[in-house]
A and B are shown apart, each in its own frame.
Chain A
Amino acid sequence: MKKKKKMTLARRRAITGYLFIMPWLVGFCVYYIKSLFMTIQFSLSNVSVDPKSGYSAAFAGLRNFKYILLEDGKFNKILVTSLRDIVIDVPLVLTFALLMAMLLNQKFIGRTIFRAIFFIPVIMGCDAISDAIAQARQAAVGGISSTSAAITESSASTVNLDYYVALFKDIGLPSSIIDYVVGAVDRIAEVVDLAGVQIVIFIAALQSIPSSLYEVAKIEGATSYETFWKVTFPMVMPHIITCLVYTVVDAFASSEIVQYSYDMIFSSNSYDYGSAMALTSMVVVCLILFIVVAWIQKHTFYYN
């Protein structure tokens, strides 16, 4: 009895906190943490296929990391390119998404339809749908010669740009024009495609700003420009971090470097190198992300 009384309020609260997290944490540890550890284990060992137990992993120290960083001809280059792409994409995506969210948050005719339209790339990017579209296209254009293996490979990236290009080629535009336009629009299409979810997050964020703040701003005679910088932007700031993290995760998942480690694992069958590559690139991106988020967080205004 006495022991129970000794439990402080903070301790009791901590226990409630853990109780709330428990359902999530158990699954997370069993599934995600374990696969993370297994990947770390693979990256540190020499993995080979074993007919009896499936695989055998002999500890090999940092050999794999040494190989990918010093000997592999492509890894460093691809890593740098991927990072550069992410760095270019992220501010563009965030600016575009915030702008679009603000426009879509206003009252005008056909708002719901417009919102849906801007979400289309997200839905189209999902595996089943892009596969189905690619299949339909292949059936119509490629005919019998197309194989299903080629289809799945071409739809591996979430940005279904090939589909657009092929579409215009089918309509009958000369290829030199297409190449030029694609080169110029390449980034824009990517940005717009990546921004779907962020637009939805920003709309949700804009919706949760108390309307009284806008009323006050209006009464005080603020222009819409001032209202944006003094009310909307500070209130949305925490969600800019959310979107930043989401964008980086999204861009990283579809980046070349992940594709390269994937190929390493499943095409070259070297699971050890592939794991080491995945880990290295992940750590690098995370480090950059944590630094940037910490910097933004310092300048973020929190409502309470």
Chain B
Amino acid sequence: MAKEKTRVKKRWFHREKQLNRSAAGNGLLFFFMAFCGVFMALPLVILINNALKPLDEIFQYPQTIFVKNPTFENFKDLFVVMSDSWVPFSRYIFNTLIITGFGTVGHVVVASLAAYPLAKHKFPGKNILFSIVVLSMMFSYNVTQIPNYMIISYLGINNTYLALILPSWQFGMGLYLMKQFMEQIPDSLMESAKLDGASEFTIFWKIFMPNVKPAWLTLAVLQFQQMWGNTGSMFLRSEKLKPMQFALQQIAGGGAARAGVACAVAFVIALVPITFFLICQSQIIETMTSSGMKE
């Protein structure tokens, strides 16, 4: 009898092990991720350290990864250079906010609006339209630069914010992403809302958008990153309209004398998208608890 008891106990223990990963397995996974993570984080670590290095350490050869005497000298220099730019520097920041903000929000709204009927309605031409979207994603932006420029100047929005903002709303990728996620939402959810008298827009805004929150946050992160990286040098000629990235690149391009400033610039440019990503990521985690879907 005692033997049987131990056997039962052993089996139960074995089972528990399968359900929840063992401590060793967890440790192994953590190690694996840490290994990959170190490799991926290295550029950022060097970026941050470089920004904090005094000039003599930046020019040191061979270079070191970690800073020995951290200093904010580079940032101070950056502020000095920034303060005597041609147009006040706050203007560049304002431009970036406008372009990135409208580009991101507009794209998420327009793409979600368009994705909703593509995912959940039936109408003629739907499949053709969707195929064209996929096709358009293949169309490399680099190769079509000349037609793009001609269209923008034909529309008369050359050298305005619109030249950067409007085309960004129609990137095919966002529509594609939103459509794929909206397709996953059960029809019954839509039908019950309809029975309760909700209009199409209410269904879209109050039911679909909250349920695909992870998707549109992902999209926002992507779009933000893309708009943030846009220097707009192709369409914006007026100095007053140029975004911050352009000004910072000009500052950083000043040769060896500006090496420290250039490191600080790289840090500043990289910092904002990463922060935005972190904020969005924490939001994505919260969605899980708030979506109350029961089939």
Indicate if the CB atoms of B270 and A123 lie closer than 8 Å: yes
Indicate if the CB atoms of B113 and A136 lie closer than 8 Å: no
Question: 8 Å CB contacts to A: which residues of B162-212?
Answer: 166-167, 169-170, 172-173, 175-177, 180-181, 183-184, 186-188, 200, 204, 211-212
Indicate if the CB atoms of B167 and A31 lie closer than 8 Å: yes
Indicate if the CB atoms of B295 and A204 lie closer than 8 Å: no
Indicate if the CB atoms of A126 and B114 lie closer than 8 Å: no
Interface of A is mostly: helix
Can you name the residue of chain B whose Cβ is closest to the Cβ of A249? B137
B50 part of interface (Cβ distance < 8 Å): yes
Give Cα A265 to B148, complex, Å.
Answer: 14
A8 part of interface (Cβ distance < 8 Å): no
Indicate if the CB atoms of B136 and A238 lie closer than 8 Å: no
In the assembled complex, the CB of A125 is this many whole angstroms from the nearest CB of chain B, namely 9
Give Cα A201 to B214, complex, Å.
Answer: 8
Determine the chain A residues whose CB is within 8 A of the CB of B43 once the complex forms.
120, 124, 133, 160, 163-164, 167
- Contacts between chains A and B (CB distance < 8 A), count: 314
Determine the chain B residues whose CB is within 8 A of the CB of A51 once the complex forms.
none
8 new A-B pairs (CB below 8 Å) besides A140-B59, A171-B62, A290-B134? A23-B114, A35-B147, A35-B148, A120-B41, A129-B266, A249-B173, A261-B140, A274-B143
Determine the chain B residues whose CB is within 8 A of the CB of A304 once the complex forms.
186-188
Indicate if the CB atoms of A224 and B18 lie closer than 8 Å: yes
Can you name the residue of chain B whose Cβ is closest to the Cβ of A193? B40
Interface string of A11-43 (1 = CB under 8 A from B): 001101110110111011011111110110010
Indicate if the CB atoms of B259 and A261 lie closer than 8 Å: no
Indicate if the CB atoms of A14 and B124 lie closer than 8 Å: yes
Q: Which of A16, A117, A126 contacts B273 (CB 8 A)?
A: A126
Determine the chain A residues whose CB is within 8 A of the CB of B83 once the complex forms.
none
Q: Which of A114, A167, A197, A262 contacts B143 (CB 8 A)?
A: A262
A79 part of interface (Cβ distance < 8 Å): no
Determine the chain B residues whose CB is within 8 A of the CB of A163 once the complex forms.
43
Interface of B is mostly: helix
Please report B residues at the A interface, Cβ cutoff 8 Å.
15, 18-19, 21, 26, 29-30, 32-33, 36-37, 39-44, 46-47, 50, 58-59, 61-65, 110-111, 113-114, 116-118, 121-124, 126, 129, 131-132, 134-144, 146-148, 150-151, 155, 166-167, 169-170, 172-173, 175-177, 180-181, 183-184, 186-188, 200, 204, 211-212, 214-215, 217-218, 221-222, 225-226, 228-231, 245, 248-249, 252-256, 258-259, 262-263, 265-266, 269-270, 273-274, 277-278, 281-282, 284-285, 287-288, 291, 293-295
Q: Which of A119, A123, A290 has the most CB of B within 10 A?
A: A123
Indicate if the CB atoms of B252 and A128 lie closer than 8 Å: no
Q: What are the 9 closest A-B residue pairs judged by CB atoms, nearest first?
A: A17-B117, A204-B214, A126-B229, A172-B62, A14-B123, A24-B114, A35-B147, A139-B259, A136-B262
Given known A-B contacts A30-B155, A132-B269, A265 and B113 have beta carbons under 8 A apart: no
Indicate if the CB atoms of A282 and B138 lie closer than 8 Å: yes
Indicate if the CB atoms of B180 and A139 lie closer than 8 Å: no
Give Cα A261 to B249, complex, Å.
Answer: 27
Can you name the residue of chain A whose Cβ is closest to the Cβ of B246? A128
11 A-B residue pairings within 8 Å (CB atoms): A18-B117, A23-B169, A32-B170, A120-B41, A120-B43, A123-B277, A136-B262, A136-B263, A139-B256, A192-B39, A278-B144
